């Protein structure tokens, strides 16, 4: 019984919990959904809904080329990635949706290496602004994007367009992506090295303070020299 319940939790067969919220972190019915959206208390993933505004969608009057959209998105991705990786912790994945529907458009999902970093990020990000708009951040149940993104869209074959219920990712240029993750790795390695060096210094200071020689030294220092 318990096994059966666990196996249907968050799937389409689950009549209580919303499978879309569980898999995608967002559902088109929002708060009016007839099934439950169970917000996680712990999760390595942070969702910032509607944070990226695709300039091609924002202005109907002026035409924005694909090239301009890519430049705009790369700048957005680099900005956000750098700030989050420096302030809150190691990022495993950062995915942005380019769907047209309100509940997915511009959603940013950041999967952290540690749950505690995600928790801290939610606290801080909710007090921040991006391009003049207050940021909303929440923990998201999504931790496996393979269940959430649209495979057909990645192959250029999705027939649902911008209103598809699965995530349509907008990708940063591959060279930018690589350099961001590489520099994050280098930064983390350096942090670890510095922490280790710091710990070793502390440890050798403690050993010096506790060593029997230090007692002898201090006694010696307090003893008046006979030839004084
Ligand atoms: Zn729902
Ligand atoms: Zn699709």
* Confidence category of residue 1, pLDDT binned at 50, 70, 90: low
Q: Tell me the CA–centroid distance for residue 102 and ligand 1, in Å.
A: 14
**What is the per-residue pLDDT across 53-98, written as a single tens digit (0 to 9) for each?**
999 987 777 788 999 999 999 999 999 999 999 999 999 999 999 9
* Confidence category of residue 218, pLDDT binned at 50, 70, 90: very low
Please report the pLDDT score of residue 2 as a whole number. 61
Q: Report d(CA 51, CA 47) in Å as an integer.
A: 9
Tell whether the model's pLDDT for residue 226 goes beyond 60. no
**Domains of the chain: residue spans and CATH:** 1-36 (no CATH), 39-185 (3.30.70.330)
Q: Which phi and psi angles does 164 have, rounded to 5°?
A: -60, 145
Q: Tell me the CA–centroid distance for residue 36 and ligand 1, in Å.
A: 7
Q: Report d(CA 180, CA 40) in Å as an integer.
A: 29
pTM recorded for the entire structure: 0.82
Tell whether the model's pLDDT for residue 225 goes beyond 90. no
Q: Which two tokens stand for residue 180?
A: 């961001």
- In the structure, ligand 2 is a single-atom ion and the residues with CB under 5 Å from it are 150, 153, 158, 160, 164
Average pLDDT, rounded, for the chain: 89
Buried b (16+ CB within 10 A) or exposed e, 185-203: eeeeeeeeeeeeeeeeeee
Query: Average of pLDDT values for 208-223?
Result: 57
Report yes or no: 27 and 95 within 8 Å, Cβ to Cβ.
Answer: no
Tell whether the model's pLDDT for residue 101 goes beyond 90. yes
**What is the per-residue pLDDT across 136-184, written as a single tens digit (0 to 9) for each?**
999 999 989 998 999 999 999 999 999 999 999 999 999 999 999 999 9
Closest by alpha carbon to 48, among 116, 96, 119?
96
Q: Tell me the CA–centroid distance for residue 163 and ligand 2, in Å.
A: 8
Q: Tell me the CA–centroid distance for residue 19 and ligand 2, in Å.
A: 17
Please report the pLDDT score of residue 3 as a whole number. 67
Range scoring the smallest mean pLDDT among 2-6, 38-42, 58-62, 88-92: 2-6
Please report the pLDDT score of residue 8 as a whole number. 66
Residue 130 falls in which region: left (phi positive, over 0), alpha (psi -120 to 50) or beta: beta
Please report the pLDDT score of residue 206 as a whole number. 85
């Amino acid at each position: 019984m318990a096994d059966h319940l666990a196996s249907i939790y968050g799937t389409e067969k689950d009549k209580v919990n919303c499978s879309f919220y569980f898999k995608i972190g967002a559902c088109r019915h929002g708060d009016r959904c007839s099934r439950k959206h169970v917000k996680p208390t712990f999760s390595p993933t942070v969702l910032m809904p509607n944070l990226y505004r695709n300039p091609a969608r924002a202005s109907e009057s002026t035409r924005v080329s694909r090239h301009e959209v890519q430049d705009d998105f790369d700048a957005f991705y680099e900005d956000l990635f750098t700030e989050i990786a420096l302030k809150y912790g190691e990022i495993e994945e950062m995915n942005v949706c380019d769907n047209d529907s309100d509940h997915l458009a511009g959603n940013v999902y950041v999967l952290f290496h540690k749950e505690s970093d995600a928790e801290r990020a939610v606290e801080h990000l909710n007090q921040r602004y991006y391009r003049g708009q207050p940021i909303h951040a929440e923990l998201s149940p999504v931790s496996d994007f393979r269940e959430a993104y649209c495979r057909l869209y990645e192959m250029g074959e999705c027939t649902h367009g911008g209103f598809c219920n699965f995530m349509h990712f907008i990708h940063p240029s591959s060279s930018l992506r690589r350099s961001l993750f590489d520099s994050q790795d280098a930064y983390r390695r350096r942090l670890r090295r510095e922490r280790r060096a710091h710990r070793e210094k502390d440890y050798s200071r403690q050993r010096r303070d506790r060593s029997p020689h230090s007692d002898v030294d201090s006694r010696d220092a307090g003893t008046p020299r006979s030839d004084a």
